[in-house]
Amino acid sequence: DAPGLAFETTEWIQRTELSALASDTWGCEVRPNRTEGNINQPWHWITIPMQGMTMGEIFNLKELGEDCVDDKVYEFLFVAPTLPFTGGVGSPVNPIAIK
């Protein structure tokens, strides 16, 4: 079991036009997360192919959170370039938060 976003957040994501998400958990969605039809990871099935969501998982956000608390600046440019794979579905990244 793990914390994360519920399937019902897909409507909010569509309405707010959220385009990217970074999570410090191994999956952005809550676990367990099977639907009535026993579909595994239904949030991923909607947000990635149908809403075009870009997501990163297993980010170490503790130091960034502490830095934001220290200087009270909670806005930054977050850059996480991927490896240049054509048609890839996942890649390691080198994330940077620029304040």
- Burial of residue 90 (number of CB atoms within 10 Å: 0-12, 13-18, 19+): exposed
Cβ proximity of 28 and 5 under 8 Å: yes
CA angle, residues 93, 60, 43, in degrees to nearest 5: 75
pLDDT digits (tens, 9 = 90+) for 20-55: 899 998 888 988 887 777 788 889 889 988 998 888
pLDDT digits (tens, 9 = 90+) for 71-88: 999 999 999 988 988 887
d(CA 99, CA 83) in angstroms, rounded, equals 24
| Alpha-carbon torsion (19, 80, 69, 23), positive or negative | positive
pLDDT digits (tens, 9 = 90+) for 65-74: 999 999 999 9
Does 89 have pLDDT greater than 80?
no
